[in-house]
Amino acid sequence: MLSTLDDLKNRLQTALVNAFGPDLEGTDPVLVPTNNPKFGDYQANVAMSLAKRLKDKPRAIATKIVENLTIDDLCEEPQIAGPGFINLKFKTDYLQNQLKAVYADERLGIPTANPPQRTIVDFSSPNIAKEMHVGHLRSTIIGESIARTLEFLGHDVLRLNHVGDWGTQFGMLITHLRDVCPEAMTDSSTVDIGDLVTFYKQAKKRFDDNDDFKTTSREAVVDLQSGDPEARLAWQALCEQSRKEFQKIYDRLDITLQERGESFYNPLLDDVVVDLKSLGLLEEDQGAQVVFLEGFTNKDGNPQPLIVKKTDGGFNYATTDLAAIRQRTTQEKAQRIIYVTDAGQANHFAQVFQVANRAQWIPEGVELVHVPFGLVKGEDGKKLKTRSGETIKLKELLNEAIDRAEKDLRQRIADETRDETEEFIHTVSTGVGMGAVKYADLSQNRTSDYIFSFDKMLALQGNTAPYMLYAYVRVQGISRKGDIDFSQLGDAPMLLAEESELTLAKHLLALDAVVMEVAQELYPNRLCQYLFELSQKFNQFYDRCSVLQAEEPNRTSRLMLCDLTARTLKLGLSLLGISVLGRM
Ligand code: ARG
């Protein structure tokens, strides 16, 4: 089937060519939803943007487009308004047919990408032996949603966890480990280092306070980098311990990720430097090997250097990312690489991309995108902290979301004098708690900072996960109450008689456009907004139209509308990484 919006677009494009000749082939008709349903469903604003090029008044251009427009199977008579908007209103017949086609389609009218793109989503990426903080949580949630959306569209997605598992901090960690846990130096499989964050702090303190320790640590870095087996084992033990902790969070959040940390690129770093040199991009600056950047200047107005090899011979975060770009484009054949990190790394990526570009390491047609996001703040607008003022541990944050969801649920069960099992309570509070945390993050425009509020994210009303989950549950309730098997509604006609039915139907038909937009622009909040409006429109429809009590043929048609709403919510939420519940 042809998507509703594409259908409109194609007709307008044909009209443009017929009216003004083949030069206009492929012109974007600039279709947007009308602000006021009184004027129709969509308006085409292309006449305004063509005025200059065609040297004519927009209204005259609009008139000519409409004269050449064959659209009466889709829309009512197009109306020209204002300076030259073309207002279009769908015919009910057409909507009914489109809806039937979507209803019959398992993918709900969303086409698969042709051709699919080999895509890498680089996300989550915490650092070994350090706390996985709320910034990493944001990257994890946003990255997972982007990966799911692209996968659903049929792209070939490689999800990579670029963990910080290399670098000079391992010198002090290994040295400390050698003292407190010597068995780790010979057998890394059995050791339990305990809380790594505490361990890190202890090592750091010794490093700062003790010169001998510092010297030994520096030697340990050299040992590790030269592949000394003992240092290597200790490093493995540290990584393994961190990995276990991270995995617990990923399991709880239902995140799929392949670990490919910085260390993976270690053997490729020398070549980055050698090749930059032979390309003539490398310069020496105060003993370091650098590339001077275009468009980045320091305080004195001089070009800023990107250091790829430090004075002491060590490599940088940026060197690893340069090596990763080469490996990912050549070996992995990536056509699109998406990096999900906080906005604070925008310069880092702009600089790395620039150097890769100037070195011609980005093959034709390959797209590198940084997907930045803002900070997570507490309700006081400051950095997120626990009540006692400590930094929040992710584990505790997730626990609290679930605990609060459970408390709300027990209250509701008591108020409604329902009888529910402990298993039900556990499943629902976990689902609601996790969904709420994810949704709260995804529903914000990711570029802004976001205020973390348990109360807001768990509210049953508003743009929240519980509101959407509840709309889904409502539909399941209808099927239970009426003993309806939605899969058996089959081939009945869909009838859109009431205004609220039409409004809901039109919204249901816009799903494909939203999903495509998220895949292109990488803003999952657009999908959240869509699902929020869908739930609202469904609730309005359900308040105004009787369903189980309605007469046939409206009854079946309305049941199909309910079912399609639920399927749309389920699919949409799954692209956000959220699972629906049958009851709650
Ligand atoms: N480990 C980094 C951090 O915690 C994020 C890595 C992002 N990915 C990348 N390819 N640089 O900030």
Residue 546 lies in a domain: yes
Separation of 145 CA from ligand 1 center, angstroms?
18
Do residues 78 and 71 lie in contact, with contact meaning Cβ atoms separated by under 8 Å?
Answer: yes
- Domain stop point among 255, 290, 315: 255
Tokens of 478: 């209808």
Residue 144 lies in a domain: no
- Domain stop point among 193, 227, 255: 255
Pocket of ligand 1 (CB under 6 A): 122, 125-127, 162, 164, 321, 324, 339, 341
Residue 513 lies in a domain: yes
pLDDT at 491: 82
Separation of 163 CA from ligand 1 center, angstroms?
7
CA nearest ligand 1 atom 8, residue: 162
Do 563 and 427 share a domain, yes or no? yes
**CA 533/CA 584 separation, integer angstroms:** 21
Do 69 and 187 share a domain, yes or no? no
Residue 225 lies in a domain: yes
Tokens of 401: 């979301």
Separation of 321 CA from ligand 1 center, angstroms?
9
Domain containing residue 424: CATH number = 1.10.730.10
Separation of 526 CA from ligand 1 center, angstroms?
25
Asked if the interface predicted TM-score (ipTM) of this complex is over 0.95, the answer is: yes
Do 47 and 175 share a domain, yes or no? no
The CA-based dihedral angle spanning residues 542, 544, 548, 549, taken in that order and rounded to the nearest 10 degrees: 170
Do 66 and 212 share a domain, yes or no? no
**CA 168/CA 235 separation, integer angstroms:** 12
**42 DSSP assignment:** E
**CA 403/CA 176 separation, integer angstroms:** 37
- Domain stop point among 27, 57, 90: 90
pLDDT at 167: 86
Do 75 and 201 share a domain, yes or no? no
**CA 221/CA 212 separation, integer angstroms:** 14
Separation of 8 CA from ligand 1 center, angstroms?
43
Q: What is the SS3 assignment for 385?
A: strand
List the chain pLDDT tens, one digit each, 584 residues: 678 888 899 999 999 999 999 999 999 999 998 988 888 999 999 999 999 999 999 999 999 999 999 999 999 999 999 999 999 999 999 999 999 999 999 999 999 999 999 999 999 999 998 888 888 999 999 999 999 999 999 999 999 999 999 988 899 999 999 998 887 777 766 667 778 888 899 999 999 999 999 999 999 998 998 889 999 999 999 999 899 999 999 999 999 999 999 999 999 999 999 999 999 999 999 999 999 999 999 888 899 999 999 998 889 999 999 999 999 999 999 999 999 999 999 999 999 999 999 999 999 999 999 999 999 998 888 888 776 777 788 999 999 999 999 999 999 999 999 999 999 999 999 999 999 999 999 999 999 998 999 999 999 999 999 999 999 999 999 999 999 999 998 789 999 999 999 999 999 999 999 999 999 999 999 999 999 999 999 999 999 999 999 999 999 999 999 999 999 999 999 999 999 999 99
Q: In whole angstroms, how far apart are CA 556 and each of 30, 192, 319, 492, 550?
A: 37, 61, 62, 7, 9
Residue 350 lies in a domain: no
Site to substitute for ligand 1 among 125, 128, 130, 134, most atoms within 8 A of C-beta: 125
Site to substitute for ligand 1 among 130, 139, 162, most atoms within 8 A of C-beta: 162
Instruction: Kindly list the strands in the beta sheet with 283-285, ordered across the sheet, starting from the edge strand earlier in the chain.
Output: 283-285, 288-297, 303-309
Tokens of 321: 């990312």
Global pTM reads 0.94
CA nearest ligand 1 atom 6, residue: 125
**364 DSSP assignment:** T
The residues pairing with 290 across neighbouring beta strands, listed in sequence order, are 283, 307
Separation of 371 CA from ligand 1 center, angstroms?
12
Residue 334 lies in a domain: no
Tokens of 139: 């990257």
Domain containing residue 76: CATH number = 3.30.1360.70
Separation of 312 CA from ligand 1 center, angstroms?
23
Do residues 297 and 303 lie in contact, with contact meaning Cβ atoms separated by under 8 Å?
Answer: yes
CA nearest ligand 1 atom 11, residue: 321
Q: What ligand 1 atom has the least distance to the C-alpha of 317?
A: 11
Do 81 and 195 share a domain, yes or no? no
**CA 56/CA 183 separation, integer angstroms:** 83
CA quadruple 478, 484, 487, 490: dihedral sign: negative
Do 525 and 427 share a domain, yes or no? yes
pLDDT at 190: 64
Do 415 and 508 share a domain, yes or no? yes
Do 66 and 182 share a domain, yes or no? no
Q: In whole angstroms, how far apart are CA 537 and each of 209, 462, 503, 507, 562?
A: 63, 13, 7, 8, 11
Residue 73 lies in a domain: yes
Do 442 and 551 share a domain, yes or no? yes
Q: What ligand 1 atom has the least distance to the C-alpha of 341?
A: 7
Residue 132 lies in a domain: no
Domain containing residue 55: 4-90
Structural domain total, the chain: 3
CA quadruple 46, 52, 58, 62: dihedral sign: negative
Do 77 and 174 share a domain, yes or no? no
